[in-house]
Amino acid sequence: MALAVRNEASPWGISTSVLLHALLAATVMLIPLQKPPNRREEEERVSVAILTPQQFEASTRPPSPPAEEAPSAPMPEAPVAAPSARQSPVAPAMIHPTRMLSAKTLADPRSKQARADLETFASDERMVQLCNLEAMDQIRQWRADFQPERVVPYATAEEKITGTTIAADGAAFRSRKNWYSLKFKCQLAQDGESVIGFEFLVGDPVARDKWDELGLPAVH
C-alpha cells in the first residue's frame, strides 16, 4: 500500500523567504551607483603624443632669442648731374703794372750804349727791344729775387706785332743763370719810341735740356 506524502509548505518558511528577499532588495538599493566615466575626459586624459628623440630635444630646448634685424642700408643719393659743358680751367691772371719803367732806365747815364744801339735798329726791332727792356724792369720790380738780364720773345712761339702792340706768348727770360718762361703784351706810343702799357706773367723754369733746342744761351 503506497503511502501518499503530503508536502505542505510551512507558513514560517514562506514568511522567512519573503523577508530575506525584501532585505536583499533594500541592500542593493543602498549601494551608490558609480557615475559612468565621461568618454571625452577619458580621451583627454589618456591622449599621449609619441615624440621622436629629435622632437623631444627640440621641445625641451629653451627658445632662441629673436634675431635682431640688420639695419637697413641707407638709400644711395641720386648722383648730381654733371654740367653739360665742361668748364675750362681758369688761366692765371696777368700782372698789370701801373707805371712804366723802361723810359727811366734808358734815361740813366749808364744806358748811353743801349740808347745808341736802339738807334741802329729798324722800327719793329726797336719796338721789340723796348718791350724786352720793359719786361726785365717790371719783373725785377715785381720780384726782387729775380735779376733778369736777357729776354728772348720767341723762345717757344713767335711774337706777334700788330701796329704798335707786341704780344709774346712764348717768351723766356734769364735770371741768375736760369731760364724761365714768360708771357707779355706790350703797348707802345704811336711813334714806337716809348712803352705806354704793359702786362706780363712769369711761368715755370725752362728745363736745361731744352735750352739749346729753344735757342736759349747759358751765357752772353
Residue 164 counted as domain residue? yes
Q: In terms of pLDDT, which residue wins out, 59 or 123?
A: 123
Query: In angstroms, rounded to a whole number, what is the distance separating the alpha carbons of residues 91 and 67?
Result: 60
Residue 83 counted as domain residue? no
Mean pLDDT of 8-37: 44
Q: CA angle, corner 149, sides to 146 and 151, nearest 5?
A: 100
Residue 111 counted as domain residue? yes
Residue 18 counted as domain residue? no
Whether the pLDDT of residue 62 is over 80: the answer is: no
Residue 36 counted as domain residue? no
174, with CB counted inside 10 A (0-12, 13-18, 19+), is buried
Measured CA distances, 140 to 56, 66, 136, 173, 202 (Å): 98, 80, 6, 11, 11
> Quick one: pLDDT at residue 91?
75
Residue 67 counted as domain residue? no
- Residue 166's domain comprises 102-214
What is the chain's mean pLDDT, rounded? 77
Q: Which of 92, 183, 202, 91 is nearest to 131 (CA)?
A: 183
Contacts by residues 105-112 (CB-CB < 8 Å, ≥ 24 positions apart)? 105/133, 105/137, 106/133
Tens-digit pLDDT profile for residues 145-175 = 999 999 999 999 999 999 999 999 999 999 9
Is residue 7 very low, low, confident or very high in pLDDT (cuts 50, 70, 90)?
A: very low
Query: In angstroms, rounded to a whole number, what is the distance separating the alpha carbons of residues 189 and 127?
Result: 10
Contact 27, 21 (CB under 8 A): no
Contact 19, 27 (CB under 8 A): no
Domain count for the chain: 1
Measured CA distances, 124 to 5, 30, 62, 135 (Å): 193, 155, 103, 17
Residue 118 counted as domain residue? yes
Query: In angstroms, rounded to a whole number, what is the distance separating the alpha carbons of residues 152 and 198?
Result: 17
Residue 4 counted as domain residue? no
Whether the pLDDT of residue 24 is over 50: the answer is: no
DSSP state of 149: E
- In sequence order, what are the residues at sequence separation of 6 or more whose Cβ sits closer than 8 angstroms to the Cβ of residue 161? 124, 127, 128
- In sequence order, what are the residues at sequence separation of 6 or more whose Cβ sits closer than 8 angstroms to the Cβ of residue 154? 168, 170, 171
